[in-house]
Amino acid sequence: MMDNRVFNVNGRGEEFLAETLRLAFKQCGNNTTCCGMAETEKGLVLVPYLNGKVSMPLPELYASECIPLVIAWLRGPAAAKIKLEGFDVDMEHDGSNIKGWRVFCGDWGRVADYTAICAVTPAFMWLGK
Query: What is the chain written as a DSSP string?
Result: --TT--EEEEE-SHHHHHHHHHHHHHHH-TT--EEEEEEETTEEEEESS--S--SEEEEEE-HHHHHHHHHHHHHSHHHHT----GGGS---SSSEEEEEEEEEE-GGGEETTEE-SEEEEEEEEEE--
Question: What whole-number distance in Å separates Cα of residue 78 and Cα of residue 71?
Answer: 12
pLDDT of residue 129: 60
Q: What is the per-residue pLDDT across 52-88, written as a single tens digit (0 to 9) for each? A: 677 788 999 999 999 999 999 999 999 999 999 999 9
Place 30 in a pLDDT band, splitting at 50, 70 and 90. confident
Whether the model clears a pTM of 0.85, i.e. scores above it, the answer is yes
Sort residue 72 into left (φ over 0), alpha (ψ -120 to 50) or beta.
alpha
pLDDT of residue 109: 86
* Amino acid at position 5, single letter: R
Higher pLDDT, 55 or 116: 116
Count of alpha carbons within 13 Å of 67, Cβ hemisphere only?
17
Q: What is the per-residue pLDDT across 87-115, written as a single tens digit (0 to 9) for each? A: 999 998 888 899 999 999 988 888 988 88
2 pLDDT more than 90: no
pLDDT of residue 51: 72
pLDDT of residue 73: 97
